[in-house]
Structures are given as structure tokens and as C-alpha cells.
Amino acid sequence: MKKSPSQILQEISLMLEILGDNPFRARAFARASRIVADFEGDMESVLKREELRRQKGIGEKIWAELNSIFQKGFSPLHRQLQKEIPSEIFLLLQLPGLGPSKVRQLFLSGITNLEQLKEACRDGSLLSQRGFGKRTVERILEEIDFWESNRGKWHLPQAQIWRLEWEERLRGWGQEYYVVGEFRRGQEWITSLEFLVLVDDFQSLWQRLQTEEGIVAERRGEVHIQILNSPIPIHFYLTDKKSLGAGLAYYTGSSAHLQKLQDYLLSHQFKLTPRGLIGPCGVVEVPQEDIFFEKVHLPWIPPELREGLEELEWAKEGKLPELVSYEDIEVILHNHTDWSDGKFSIEEMSLEAHRRGFRGISINDHSASAVYAGGLSPERVERQLLELQALSHLPIRIFSGIECDIRKDGSLDLEADLLARLEVVIAAVHSHFQLSMEQQTRRICRAISHSNVDILAHPTGRLLLRRRGYEVDWVEIFQACCRYGVAIELNANPYRLELDWRLIQAAKKAGVRFAIGCDAHHVEDFGHVSWALMLARKGGLERGDIVNYGWV
């Protein structure tokens, strides 16, 4: 997988730290990586490259590496450092609690990959090293187990890139196709990409794949082809026009959904197979998915719900929810600007939100405790309020707000009288993830009870595939949110996507309302709202369940 220029610079910085190079040099590459990241997406433009070259923090030596990346596709320094440090060492850096200094310590002791680290934890040899006590070693083993349990899973943005690449190929071959499986159901991570391909005969696509350079394919039966040389498994399922609707029903649902559906169909003398819907008189013609559901006497079930939970019971009883839609998101909540760690001004963020069709936007820069993110002191909050007043002429309603840190004891790091003057107060945990379940629950419930809090942000603290969420008693959290009228955020960051959709129905039944929060730090991040919408739909939410509707 090709690395971006900012990723290459970041890796240079990390490798320099691990090798014990000049710390100022390592920091310079890290800073340059962040600068370059802001330019990526338009790096083919000569003008953009020249603008990048003039940025403070892009010195001659760093520019030489960047120019080589642009011209030749690689950095000489990066290649040189790769000869000294095995690539597997970057997996160690992904484990929570292992920063560059500790990984350097491991590197110097000969530990350069997960297997060696696991062995050193289990045989006790790691305990002899400074900073690696018993509890630290236990946590490392837990994190390695967590990482290994997530092997073969991919974040949605990366899966989306591969999906679009294959869609372009299929279109180029003149194939009509439909995305099915995990992606169509809106899973928060993906283990494979699955396409239902409409064909005139079941040999045509296979013959095409046999002649395409760089593709290694394998037949898994008459109607199933797998691509073997892709980073993520690619599956093509073949169907004809008469069975397209049945194919969409068969290949979209989870195995649990399909089993429940098959049980239902059997009771109505039907059977769903990879080749189509079989009835008492043979194959039933179902050219569209809605016709499939009509034939089997069910209302159409939204793909996001097809997980084998309550969706079939809802369908049989006529109780399927009318799922929330993009148009229901009138106000885009939880947005950062260049007042803290965002990249654009309040005006720029607001105008982009307006251009995308939103009627309102809330500005929620970090509070003072988030020093790492340029958090706002009370004085800066006051100054930001003045700027918001000056921007009241813009063609979009701008709501004042803050993303306020929840301290270890559950108090907030801004005074109540100042919070009372803000329109959208978001409370969030950014530290002390290792508290016990009881302590973490008590901490969050205290924050929820604060009279000025409107939304509990990224409520589990998880980073998908990288960090577990902290443990809390969700029954207590949901009850507190209902009692004090606090909404729970559905965070749109594709590396968070929380609250977990598996908890959404329980929260809804408890009476909780939800806030689709973009957590935007860049104007392009507004596009992430579709991920949170997917999460809301997967949780069975309707328009009335979200506070984004009707806030203006």
C-alpha cells in the first residue's frame, strides 16, 4: 500500500527517535509531517508544492526528501533508516502505552516485533527493564491480544479506497454491479469487499479476470469468484437479471440474519439460495430487491438492520423504524476551528457547512485542559464569543459552544457561569482511561449531571482496531442521560464511530436521545457525517431520536 508524503515523514521522525538521533531533528520531521498532511489531496499541483516549500517548518533538508518523494516516489533518508529498523517495529508503536522512547528501549534489547515482545512478556524477561512493571507487562499482553483479534479488519476510509478502485474497474469492463455484505450493512470495520455482479452468462467475468494483467483470481463455485492478490479479500458473486433481487437479499445480510430469514422462508415454502429464490414451483423471478420482499410477504428491510437481531420480528409486526436520513441533519454538531486544533477559521467552517446544505453549525473548540490541542482558557472563550457575534451576518446559524474536558473526579474544567453562556456544551473524557468501571461510571455520571452539559462526546473512548473503550455501567450512563436531558454523541470520526451500534437500541429503549457529531477539524471532515448517519441507521434511529433535527 503506497504511503503518503506525510506518512513517510512521520515514519522518519519515529525511526530517528528510536535510533536516538538528535531529538530536534526528529521533532522537525514530525512537525513537517503535520504541515504536509494539510496539503495532501492537491499535491500534484506545482503551485501547491511551491506553497508547501515556503511553509515555516519545511527546511532545505526536509524539502529535499519531499522533492525526492514527488519526483522519484521515495525518500532517500527513509530508505536508509529502513535498513536499520525493521518495518515490524511500527506495530509496537501502535500499542497503547508504547511510545518511541519505550520502543527504543525494546529495540536496544533486541525486541523488534510483536512475537518477540509477547515472548518477553510471558517469560518475565521484560520485567527486568526499567519502566516495565508487572501491571505494564499485563497491559501489553492485553493490547497484543486485542491487536491480534483485529487482524484482517480494515477501517472504512481504507476499505472505501479499495472499493472505489474495484468499482472503477467493473465500470470499465461494462459490468453492472452492487455492493453487498459488510459495506452495504454499514459495519464499522470491514473484513472483505463483496460485489454482486450482473452477468449474461456465468463465464464472462471469469474469462475477463483471466486476461487482466496483475489480477490473480480463483473460482469458488459457479457463481463465486475471489481475488487472491488484493490486500483485502475481494469477492464477486454472479447473478442474472431474473434473480438480482434474490441475490441482493442473500448476500447483504449477516449469517445470523440469513439464518432467521431462511427459517421464515421455509415456513412459507420458500428457500433462498446463491442462484435465486426457490418456491413450490421452482425458481421465482425476482429482478429487484423490493420484489423479493413482496414475494415473501415482508416489507423491505433496510440493509443496515440486517444483522439477525430484531429486524425480522419488526418486519413481521409492521414495526420497522423509519430510519433517519441525511436531510434530517439540520445542524452539524461538534466542530473545531483554528482557535484550538482545527485547521480553518470559524467563518470558513461555517460557510462550508452552509454550502453543504446545513442550516446550523456548532463551534466546539477544546477547553483549557486540552493543552496539546490549544485548548481555550476562559479569556479566550470570551474572545471567541465576540467573534461569533461579529459573524452573525453569515447565511447559517452559528451556535457557540465548547468541548469541555471531564476531569478525573467528574468536574468540568470551565466554570458554570461561563458554560451557561454557551449554546452547545459537549463534555468529553480525554484522560484517565484506566479507571475502574465503578470510578469511570461515577466520573461520567457526575459530568452528565452538570446543568450546562448538552452532549456526552465519543462516549466509549475507543479508537477502532487500536484502543478498547473504557469500561462503564451503561445502564447507569443511559439513566443519567435521560434524567438530565443529555444526548449521547454518535461520533463521525471513522476511526471512532461510537456509540457502538450494538448499544444504540438499549440506549433508545432507555429514552436516550442522540447527537450526530462530526468532530470536524477540517472542512473536508464534514464528509464524515455520512459515517455517523450509517451508525445511526444501523442502531435503528429515527428523525425524532436525534437532536440535530429541530435545533434551528
Average predicted confidence (pLDDT) for the chain = 94
46: pLDDT strictly greater than 80: no
Q: 3-class SS at 228?
A: coil
Q: For residue 526, which phi and psi values (nearest 5 degrees)?
A: -60, -25
**Cell numbers at 338, concatenated:** 483554528
Q: Which three cell numbers stand for residue 421?
A: 453562556
* 404-449 pLDDT per residue, tens: 999 999 999 999 999 999 999 999 999 999 899 999 999 999 999 9
Residue 42 has pLDDT above 70, yes or no: no
Residues sharing a CB contact under 8 Å with residue 516, sequence separation 6 or more, in sequence order: 329, 333, 489, 490, 492, 529, 532, 533, 536, 546, 548
Give the per-residue pLDDT at 25.
Answer: 96
Taking CA atoms, 496 is separated from 149, 235, 460, 490, in Å, by 17, 27, 9, 9
Residue pair 257/300 in contact by the 8 Å Cβ criterion: no
Angle 62-63-69 from CA coordinates, rounded to 5° = 100
Give the pLDDT of residue 47. Answer: 59
Residue 43 pLDDT > 70, yes or no? no
CA end-to-end distance (rounded Å), the chain: 44
Counting DSSP H helices and E strands in the chain, the numbers are 23, 18
Grid cell locating 465: 482496531
Output the nine-digit C-alpha cell for 405: 474536558
Task: Read off the C-alpha cell for 418.
Answer: 461561563
Q: Compute the distance between CA of residue 468 and CA of residue 97 in angstroms, rounded to an integer.
A: 13
Using the structure block, give the residue that is written with the C-alpha cell 490486500.
231
Q: Which amino acid is at 357?
A: G
Architecture of domain 5-149: Orthogonal Bundle (1.10)
Q: Phi, psi at residue 261, to the nearest 5°?
A: -65, -40
Residue 307's pLDDT is 98
Averaged pLDDT for residues 216-232: 94
Kindly calculate the radius of gyration of the chain based on its CA atoms and give it in whole angstroms. 26
CATH of 326-545, picked from 3.40.50.720, 3.30.230.10, 3.50.50.60, 3.20.20.140, is 3.20.20.140
Q: Are 157 and 175 in contact (CB under 8 A)?
A: no
3-state helix, strand, coil in the chain (%, to 5): 45, 15, 40
Cell for 103?
A: 520502543
- Cα distance between residue 517 and residue 502, in whole Å: 18
Provide the whole-model pTM: 0.89
C-alpha cell of residue 5: 508524503
| Sign (positive or negative) of CA dihedral 118, 119, 120, 123 | positive
CA 27, CA 14: separation in Å to the nearest integer? 9
Q: What is the pLDDT of residues 318-349, one digit of tens each?
A: 999 999 999 999 999 999 999 999 999 999 99
- For the range 172-177, what are the long-range contacts, defined as Cβ-Cβ under 8 Å and sequence gap of 24 or more? 173/205, 173/208, 175/199, 175/205
Q: Which residues pair with 520 in a beta bridge?
A: 335
- Assign 13 to helix, strand or coil: helix
For residue 313, give the C-alpha cell.
420480528
pLDDT confidence of residue 41: 59
- Residue 397 pLDDT grade (very low, low, confident, very high; cuts 50, 70, 90): very high
Cβ atoms 52, 36 nearer than 8 A: yes
Of 5, 11, 4, residue with least CA distance to 66:
5
**How far apart, in whole angstroms, are the C-alpha atoms of residue 70 and residue 165?**
22
Strand order across the 514-520 sheet: 397-399, 360-363, 331-335, 514-520, 487-491, 455-456, 424-428, 401-405
The predicted pLDDT at position 40 comes to: 61
Looking at residue 51, its pLDDT comes to 82
Q: Distance of CA 423 to CAs 203, 354, 365, Å?
A: 61, 19, 13
Model confidence over 261-298: pLDDT tens digits?
999 999 999 999 999 999 999 999 999 999 999 999 99
Interacting residues of 166 by C-beta distance below 8 A, sequence separation 6+: 193, 195, 234
How far apart, in whole angstroms, are the C-alpha atoms of residue 147 and residue 491? 22
Q: Locate the domains of the chain by residue range.
A: 5-149, 155-317, 326-545
Q: How confident is the model at residue 1 (pLDDT cuts 50, 70, 90)?
A: low
> Which CATH fold topology does 155-317 show?
Beta Polymerase; domain 2 (3.30.460)
Q: List C-alpha distances in Å: 145 to 45, 175, 305.
A: 44, 41, 30
Angle between helices 529-538 and 501-509 (to 10 degrees): 60
CA distance 150 to 466: 8
The mean per-residue pLDDT over the stretch 72-82 comes to 95
CA dist 286 and 169 (Å) reads 27
